[in-house]
Structure 1
Amino acid sequence: MSRKSKERSVKDVLVALLMGIAPLIAALGLTGTSATTASAASLTEVTNFGSNPGNLRMYVYKPDSAPARPAVVVAVHYCTGTGPAFYSNTEFARLADQYGFIVVYPDANVSGQCFDVSSPQALKHDGGSDPSSIASMVRYTVQNMNADAGRVYVTGASSGAMTTNVMLGAYPDLFKAGAAFMGVPFGCFATTDGSGWNTACATGQISKTPQEWGDLVRNAYPGYTGPRPRMQLWHGTEDEALRYPNFGEEIKQWTNVLGVSQTPVFTDSPQSNWTRTRYGSTGAQAPVEANSFQGVGHSLPESGMAARAITFFGLDGSGGTGGTTTGPIHATGSGKCLDVPGFSQTNGTQTQIWDCNGQTNQTWTSTSTKQLTVYGGAKCLDATGTTAGAKVAIWDCNGGTNQQWNLNSNGTITGVQSGLCLDVTGASTANGATVALWDCNGGSNQQWHLG
């Protein structure tokens, strides 16, 4: 929609959100723009970062501790907020100092400071409006700050959480994971009348099947067949601005998009009013993680929650660092890739090597719990036995030691349970050669590289 239409619609948005945002502002102490970090690094505005149809401003924090190829976290503010305020009064900059990633803070540039998550342009890959501007910021950071394109993440609160859903839906090629604090599903806020506000969505009245929600995401980028980013969700049961039913709808959407069951495989309570569920795998970097807070309103993130998001991203040393967590597993001896035949998701399907093609049946993730997952975490690489010759297959993730693997510095991948090496049978280099366990022997058919 036009910028004028967006400016007019923001007034409607603020009427509904301002009361809900007030607790967030109070909880975070959003009263100024001075930095809270002790680092010598500072927030810098970047101009001329590329195509900017949303007329946004871009702010970047690159800590002194950043390595040669740092990860990137895009942190998106709420309505009435700014990029500098989100920098100063949330914990992401301090965590960047600790772990060495770059933080990009988009700044909405209209009255009311909300981001467009409603227009047809916003809900389409490279369609225009604010999401396209944020995508330009990511591309600029990768190209001009030597950032690692394989480790880009997005998070945000309220309007920023809705933007997080939109960015993961429309730009799966740019992001590895997201964390949405108090958001709504991708496409839930959609309008066609130039308004930026969808009352039915905000009040939790829109319910769809998982397939319908998933199709909204898939249709945002027709023809895209690459890996989909993981999603971490946060919501309070008493949220008065973006009602709690949206949390369940988000779970339906992202479990469908990532091809995992809606039934959680892990549930715990980190504190008395907090229920955490994980879908697809049990580890800290599950395909989908959902955090529900009993009795809490529109006031997230609270202290310590940003660190939980960074853990989910794998940027705190718990996994996902080094740019080698997700990607194809290359067989050094053949130049081919570890492959699930025929895109099968049937338990017990033995893996093989095949010409690398970048498809989901060749996209593996090494998790903090030593699993090698495929199909966005829907299945795990599984050793069917503990002796030489035992086939290596896929199976539902269950946390067993036969699904744990060591990625060793010498290029081998060894089973935690057996100590044996991942081996291309008969040292074959042909498409379709099967993969099994074998005694480690230093052969090129036991050499692998993830990423």
Structure 2
Amino acid sequence: MKVLSTLATLVALGSSQSLSKVNDFSGTPTRLGMYSYVPKNLKTPAPIIVAVHHCQGSAQGYFSESRYAPLADQHGFILIYPNSKSGGGCFDVASDATLKHDGGGDSQTIANMVKYAVEKYGGDANRTYVTGTSSGAMMTNVLLGAYPDVFKAGSIYSGVPDGCFAVPGSTATQDPPGWNNQCANGQLTKTAAQWGDLVRSYYPGYTGPRPRVLVWHGTADSTLRYPNYQETLKQWSNVLGLTTHKDTPNTPQSGYTQTIYGEGTATTAQLVGYSAQGVGHTVPVHQNDDLAFFGIV
């Protein structure tokens, strides 16, 4: 296996694990840098996880924060970390270009990087997943909506519904990206069908399967406020055609309430939510729960 990349300077906390900067990948637009982590024990075709950082963050920083690398070594999956070069380090989730399939924004760049990883690293196009925190959580929702043909599941940490952050007139290369206060403050509400119609509008004509969705949000979030949790669940319950749900308190830990929509368990259901009592912005990454939901472990 040949990995066409150069070693980045970051060394993960307390280990020799490091990201590689991908120098021969070009996306649309070119505002995003791309980093990869490909474990030595990789057996191809291998699962791919895209992990998207928050505002004021970076690929290198989120690599350390998210702590997926030891699990990648153990289970043999590929990690992709996009890096926003915009002012403030946020991803564009406000423009039509990014919200729409093949619209030319940040989301298309990330989707193209996944295709690159399949070709160059031996990734499995049928086992590709995405996760992110805050701005990265918003991008995770956008990717699940605009690229259901690429991503099979996603885990969203303290984000907002797909399309909630749209700003009229915002462009893909605007720096910094557009910001929607109404959405951030949890003041933008829609019916489940209205949210679902937004998702469907971003890839018109698509009739294939939709990704499974895992949603995390803290009740004390003062940045992307807690009402966004229920709005996100409303959105995906409609997209996935789910009408019933069951709540289980103190799961997977004290103070968290698990909500499973439709049939299945926390690892097999199409839509699962976790409301974290008293947790602010953001909910800590639950790596093992993510991998179980993705079917990697």
1:201 aligned onto 2:193: no
1:251 aligned onto 2:227: no
| Distance in 2 between residues matched to 1:191 and 1:110, nearest whole Å | 17
Deviation at 1:280, TM superposition (A): 1.7
Q: Please name the residue that 1:338 is paired with.
A: none
Q: Please name the residue that 2:136 is paired with.
A: 160
| Distance in 2 between residues matched to 1:163 and 1:154, nearest whole Å | 9
Does 1 or 2 have the higher relative contact order (CA < 8 Å, sep 6+)? 2
Aligned residue-pair number = 281
1:77 aligned onto 2:53: yes
What amino acid is the match of 2:52?
A: V
| Structure 2, unaligned runs of 5 or more | 1-8, 171-176
Deviation at 1:198, TM superposition (A): 0.5
What amino acid is the match of 1:193?
A: G
What amino acid is the match of 1:299?
A: T
Q: Please name the residue that 1:299 is paired with.
A: 282
Deviation at 1:34, TM superposition (A): 2.4
Question: Is the CA contact (8 Å cut-off) linking 1:203 and 1:241 kept in structure 2?
Answer: yes
Secondary structure, aligned partner of 2:166: coil
Deviation at 1:124, TM superposition (A): 0.4
Could you report, residue by residue, the CA deviation over 1:197-219 in whole angstroms, capped at 9, with x for unpaired residues?
Answer: 10110000011011100010001
Q: Please name the residue that 1:179 is paired with.
A: 155
What amino acid is the match of 2:288?
A: A
| Distance in 1 between residues matched to 2:197 and 2:14, nearest whole Å | 42
Which runs of structure 2 are paired with 1:225-304 in the superposition (5 Å)? 225-261=207-243, 263-265=244-246, 267-270=248-251, 271-283=253-265, 284-302=267-285
What amino acid is the match of 1:97?
A: D
| Distance in 2 between residues matched to 1:315 and 1:142, nearest whole Å | 17
| Distance in 1 between residues matched to 2:234 and 2:69, nearest whole Å | 32
| Distance in 2 between residues matched to 1:52 and 1:37, nearest whole Å | 35
1:87 aligned onto 2:39: no
1:104 aligned onto 2:87: no
What amino acid is the match of 1:220?
A: Y
| Distance in 1 between residues matched to 2:90 and 2:121, nearest whole Å | 27
Could you state the TM-score of these two structures normalised by the residue count of structure 1? 0.60
Could you report, residue by residue, the CA deviation over 1:275-330 in whole angstroms, capped at 9, with x for unpaired residues?
Answer: 0111122311210000001111003225xx122111111111xxxxxxxxxxxxxx
What amino acid is the match of 1:251?
A: L
| Distance in 1 between residues matched to 2:290 and 2:270, nearest whole Å | 13
Alignment match of 1:147 (pick from 123, 130, 134): 123
- CA change 1:200–1:54 in 2 (3 A) is farther
Aligned residues: CA RMSD: 1.6
| Distance in 2 between residues matched to 1:56 and 1:76, nearest whole Å | 11
- CA change 1:215–1:256 in 2 (3 A) is same
Secondary structure, aligned partner of 2:245: coil
Secondary structure, aligned partner of 2:275: strand
Q: Please name the residue that 2:195 is paired with.
A: 213
Secondary structure, aligned partner of 2:283: coil
Which runs of structure 2 are paired with 1:403-418 in the superposition (5 Å)? none
Question: Is the CA contact (8 Å cut-off) linking 1:56 and 1:107 kept in structure 2?
Answer: yes
| Distance in 2 between residues matched to 1:168 and 1:107, nearest whole Å | 19
Could you state the TM-score of these two structures normalised by the residue count of structure 2? 0.91
Larger Rg: 1
Could you report, residue by residue, the CA deviation over 1:318-377 in whole angstroms, capped at 9, with x for unpaired residues?
Answer: xxxxxxxxxxxxxxxxxxxxxxxxxxxxxxxxxxxxxxxxxxxxxxxxxxxxxxxxxxxx
Q: Please name the residue that 1:34 is paired with.
A: 11
Could you report, residue by residue, the CA deviation over 1:387-411 in whole angstroms, capped at 9, with x for unpaired residues?
Answer: xxxxxxxxxxxxxxxxxxxxxxxxx
What amino acid is the match of 1:34?
A: V
| Distance in 1 between residues matched to 2:104 and 2:192, nearest whole Å | 27
